[in-house]
Structure 1
């Protein structure tokens, strides 16, 4: 818990302000950090007494012979969560040191607390990163990882969803901190994968509530998009949720893209590329660029004649003429659903 590096930091920080030598001793009384390097590794009998009793020890010049390895000064216990972990020794006249001794003790305890909290935070980030990487690489979570997640409070209960974020790589650490701070749901795990992606998964959060929280979170971020995978009803399905979230990220249609919004595109894209192109060309081969653009806008406007004409900046009659021409050249009418879907699919595959 109290490393040599931290002990040296305590010595340096307090000596800057106090202008007295500081020693840090372990619970056996051995000096392992000091402003007087010659005293390192020496046994400090006064510190050993403090470590044993938990009491502050004042050593006057007349008492030095009673405490081998000691000098005049004040020796105080250093606690972390009510456990004595070290002893702080301040060298000098006890009368001069008494007004500042408790402040030195408090400063060192605060440095220790900060160090432990930072270390714990780094460890929490690391094992979450490992969990995400494990899910990506092995498509499962080991029993050890699941146990660690459970101990951290994560409950493997449906519905579960994986979320993949997209932003500049340099923004990932800050985005992660924001997500953990602002996404107000306890059953969440966020980690950074080996590929540098920020990935999270949640449990016990219905989709509509997840989407609402994601919207609120993205409102406090910039240049960030997110994709949500298919619902996982068990831990075994989490890898599938992650895979579909990454698919949704690649087909993103807005700041938040659920896999359900792009599932049809994904399924269509599984067809062999050569077969897709052959199908598209067989239907659209007679159409020029203007006709294809007319089709694209027509489908984008959900087959609304007025909206399409407005979007293209043409008269309704002109649009009707173009639609009739497309029918005559392809044999499929863009306003008849069963035929329009073939035209839409051909247009989609032609532009892939």
Structure 2
């Protein structure tokens, strides 16, 4: 293992900011080259004392060498840096060796702690990157191309895709007070400690204030209870949040195999793009099933069948706003009047003209109501 030069210089600054002594500190790599120093002129030179420590596996070296063109040493103490029982470099503290031995040991300890921290950060980044890569494979339409690798990854992480799951998209509405990466850690920690969080749940932050949650369910939970469980899951999260952030969640259908996981994601993503969402709400594809069918698989067919009717409506603003608003108000005349700020007789007159010109009577005819709703959905798109 080698010490990265940028990391070494970053660590050196942290160390020197926290050591209240007038000493110079050098960090040398496994070849004895100074890669970070309080005296920048020494960077790039070979430190003889560090080389002696590395070659002879010494625990500490007191030295008093003289600088020249290729070798750089001053009186002080060198101590090897160990990570996982491997010497990865040397830290040197310049000064009277008898006086700075204690300081040198403190610097060594702090340097190793900081290096381990950087290693842990790198591991965490790698783990997060790997997790995101596999989640993207899981929710991809081309998931069938990655089944073998996904199954190996799932087995190594004790995940199963032979259980009921659904995909939820969670979007944070942040007022700009907080760093999103800190918020992501905060929220994931909260999620992992609320009721109905299971070991099989997979959560990741994907950037742009969005999270993907591949929620799992217990086999004992009835299908009619699973929507309630998800609602409770996100309501509990809202109750646990103690800082000024809000979120909304979009939930796809429940599936029980890997190959169908992308469908649940597509549905959650449809809700994300379709709904004029508001903070602190949870939305389910079951409540927007007709819109999803119309605007996805059935959009082209629906549009072609209703093309002539849609052309007439698009030329008549009164028809268009009445159909959309009546649909949004579940065919309630009074609510439609309130939304459009119109008298009841005006709306009734418009509905009469819609019946005469378009042949639609959604108030009294069940099939016309379905067609009316399909038209409204296409018009809104």
Scaled by the length of structure 1, the TM-score of the pair is 0.72
Q: For residues 252-263 of structure 1, what are the structure 2 equivalents within 5 Å? A: 252-255=275-278, 256-263=282-289
Q: Report the Cα offset of residue 328 of structure 1.
A: 4.1
2:164 aligned to 145, 159, 164, which one?
A: 159
Distance 1:174 1:34 in 2: 30
Q: Could you say what secondary structure the match of 2:122 adopts?
A: helix
Aligned to 1:293: 321
1:202 pairs with 2:214: yes
Distance verdict in 2 for CA 1:332–1:351, change over 3 Å: same
Q: Distance in 2 between matches of 1:240 and 1:318?
A: 43
Change (3 A) 1:149 1:103: farther
Aligned equivalents of 1:15, 1:176: Cα separation in 2: 28
How far apart are 1:14 and its partner, in Å?
Answer: 4.5
Residues 281 and 350 in structure 1, CA contact (< 8 A), matched pair in contact too: no
Which residue matches 1:3? 3
Report whether the alignment pairs 1:338 with 2:361.
Answer: no
Matching of residue 138 in structure 1 with residue 166 in structure 2: no
Equivalent-residue separation in structure 2 for 1:349 and 1:37 (angstroms):
67
Distance 1:274 1:48 in 2: 78
Work out whether residues 23 and 31 of structure 1, in 8 Å CA contact, stay in contact via their aligned partners in 2: no
Q: Give the Cα–Cα distance (whole angstroms) in 2 for the partners of residues 106 and 188 of structure 1.
A: 37
Distance 2:351 2:10 in 1: 78
- What whole-Å deviation, never above 9, does each CA across 1:195-216 have from its counterpart, x for those lacking one? x794524242454433444456
Please report how far the alpha carbon of residue 248 of structure 1 lies from its aligned counterpart in structure 2 after TM superposition.
Answer: 2.5
Q: Return the alpha-carbon distance in structure 2 between the equivalents of residues 325 and 150 of structure 1.
A: 63
Q: CA deviation at 1:108?
A: 0.7
Which stretches in structure 2 are left out of the alignment for 5+ residues? 65-71, 193-198, 218-225
1:64 counterpart residue number? none
Secondary structure, aligned partner of 1:190? strand
Q: State the Cα distance separating 1:261 from its structure 2 match.
A: 2.9
Structure label with greater radius of gyration: 1
Deviation at 1:138, TM superposition (A): 2.9
Query: What secondary structure sits across from 1:162 in the alignment?
Result: strand
- CA deviation profile, 1:216-239 (whole Å, cap 9, x unmatched): 667867686543222231222222
Equivalent pairs, count: 335
TM-score w.r.t. length of structure 2: 0.68
Task: Go from structure 1 to structure 2 and tell me whether the alpha carbon gap of 1:236 and 1:346 turns closer, same or farther (over 3 Å shift).
Answer: closer
Partner of 1:116: 119
Tell me the CA shift for residue 330 of structure 1: 4.0
Decide whether the 8 Å contact of 1:176 with 1:190 is kept in 2: no
Do the aligned residues in 2 keep the contact of 1:160 with 1:203 (CA within 8 Å)? yes
Quote the offset at 1:112 in angstroms.
0.7
Cα deviation, residue 264, structure 1: 1.2
**What is the aligned counterpart of 1:276 among 271, 282, 306?**
306
Q: Deviations over 1:217-270 (max 9, x none)?
A: 678676865432222312222222222222222322424433323331122232
Provide the rounded CA distance (Å) in 2 between the counterparts of 1:209 and 1:175.
27
Distance 1:213 1:175 in 2: 22
- The answer on whether the counterparts of 2:324 and 2:376 sit within 8 Å (CA) in structure 1 is yes
Q: Are 1:10 and 1:108, in contact at CA under 8 Å, matched by a contact in 2?
A: yes
CA–CA distance in 2 between the matches of 1:332 and 1:116? 68
Of 199, 215, 229, which aligns to 2:252?
Answer: 229
**Is the Cα contact below 8 Å between 1:161 and 1:231 reproduced in 2?**
yes
- Please give the secondary structure, in 1, of the residue aligned with 2:126: helix
Q: Could you tell me which residue of structure 1 aligns to residue 270 of structure 2?
A: 247
1:40 aligns with 2:46: yes
Contact 2:92 2:104 in 1 (8 A): no
Q: Which residue of 2 aligns with 1:265?
A: 291
Which residue number corresponds to residue 204 of structure 2? 190
